[in-house]
Amino acid sequence: MFKKFFSAGLLVWVPLAITFWALESIIRWSDSLVQLLPPEFRPDALIGFHIPGIGLVLAIALILVTGIFAANVIGRWVVARWEKLLEKIPLVRPIYSGVKQIMETVLSNRTESFKEVVLIEFPKKDCWTYGFIVSTPGRAAAAETGYDDVVTVFVPTAPNPTSGYVLMAPRSQLKRSRVSIEDAFKFHVSLGVMSPKSLEAQSAVFQVQKGSDRPAI
């Protein structure tokens, strides 16, 4: 009984404590960035007193203004020239391009990036996991694999779904799942602890076939 109640208490306090610790760390870090400004231009000197988190507010404002600038024609031209300059620097190029690709993946609309959730045998036969159909690799890739119905499947790692494996697999060897994209991500992030709610609501797995929704046998 003690273990049960103690575990329940941990589930309440540990996530709460980590959340507040993360927020405090972000605020302290953002405030430290303000110290890079000349003393006469720091918010404390301008308004006469210290406001905790003012650095975070300024950082958000700077990012927002930068986004507005980068969204117009002139801004896109400037950003393109800036990126070309960075690509010419040997050590900077791989780091910048890698971070940018990760950010584009994280900030992109998942419903547009991933078309549907499937079950795929990975990393070996009879071991199943959730994957996401991203696109079709094209005729050249299909010809090399020997299948006509090849699709590109992304299998995320756990607990960090921003990395993973990109596989080319025939549709006939995949099973369509009624699990939503969001629930499939939660399944990976939670290391399989969280059971997909959409699967509980409609527990059905369909074989992925062109123009067919017949249940897989």
Among 15-19, 50-54, 58-62, 120-124, the least confident range = 50-54
pLDDT value at residue 144: 86
What 40-47 contacts at long range (C-beta under 8 Å, 24+ apart), as own/partner pairs, is none
Q: What's the chain's average pLDDT?
A: 79
Is the CA virtual torsion 40, 42, 44, 47 positive or negative?
positive
Its pTM stands at 0.48
- The Cα 217–Cα 214 span in angstroms is 9
pLDDT value at residue 27: 78
Q: Is the pLDDT of residue 98 over 80?
A: no
Among 37-46, 91-100, 109-118, 164-173, the least confident range = 109-118
pLDDT value at residue 217: 40
Digit-coded pLDDT (tens) for 177-208: 988 888 888 888 888 887 776 555 444 444 45
Tell me the two tokens of residue 51: 């406001």
For residues 131-158, average pLDDT: 86
Q: Residues of the chain with pLDDT > 90: what percent?
A: 12
Q: Is the pLDDT of residue 123 over 80?
A: yes
Other beta carbons within 10 angstroms of residue 191's beta carbon come to 9
For residues 57-69, average pLDDT: 85
Name all domains of the chain by residue range, CATH numbers in brackets. Answer: 1-107 (no CATH), 110-196 (2.30.30)
Tell me the two tokens of residue 210: 């062109």
Q: Are 194 and 186 in contact (CB under 8 A)?
A: yes
Sheet with strand 128-135: strands edge to edge: 164-170, 150-156, 128-135, 116-121, 175-177, 205-207
pLDDT value at residue 206: 46
pLDDT value at residue 205: 47
